[in-house]
Amino acid sequence: MFRIAVAALLGAISLSACAKQPQTGAATSPGTAAPVAEGAVDKKVREALRQLDPNFKPDYVGAAPFAGFREVVVSGQVLYVSDDGRYLMQSQPYDIEKRALATSEGLLAYRRKLLDTVPHADRIVFAPPNAKYTVSVFTDVECGYCRKLHQDIAELNRNGIAVEYLAFPRMGLGSKDYTDMISVWCAADRKAALTQAKSGKAVPGKNCTNPVAMQYSLGQQLGVNGTPAIFAADGSQLGGYLPPAQLKAALERIPGAAGNR
């Protein structure tokens, strides 16, 4: 439903139909507009989106990492709306200097808050004795690149990287993938069960009170639409599968990323 709404939004050339236009003869010159309070800009952006579609309710609105736009999150998808409520962009810009997706501190804090809702006990953790970095990885047991990343666990640990798995059955709730992941999370030895499942071996069916559906929902809130999805401790999304050396290099480029979550 959300993707249909977004498609409808992006079908519009701009949000100009719902943004108030300047009065004729206004004295403001291009590039010299008077600064507007941040709260007022957020309100204008929300109102523009509501007028375009009453069901379009952002989960987060904050300053974009570049001037003139607000960063908006709806069901995990990052959008950008101009401060005047006129233009909407779907693609997340790439920061050439940082060699990463352009992300604001506000968005990172929003993601950290969501990730922090998952207790350590509900994660399946593969960590070295003194981890320098910690990544949260949304995974399932069937995807090829999830299995490839899991084969790298020993090398990642040798590089000081702790991997904390969260469940994301990409085939959806009620799928075989979903029930297999419940069996993994309900196993007496979850690490062994996950390794077994990722090697293509059957895991004995089990059921219990488990966090699989909650973690899947959380992944959707964070915009996960494929696995593996790797998040650094600061909330940066590092993409999908990365070889150990590349993942370590990506973490080293994040200021203050060293240290446990």
Active site residues: 140, 143, 146, 170
- Determine the straight-line distance between the first and last CA of the chain, rounded to whole angstroms: 34
The amino acid that residue 257 corresponds to is A
Pull the structure tokens for residue 238. Answer: 């590092």
How is residue 246 written in tokens?
């590349």
Token duo for residue 178: 């979903």
Which residues are 136's β-sheet partners? 164, 231
Query: Which contiguous run of DSSP H or E holds residue 207?
Result: none
Pairing of strands 124-126, 94-95: unpaired
Please give the radius of gyration of the chain, using alpha carbons only, rounded to the nearest integer. Answer: 21
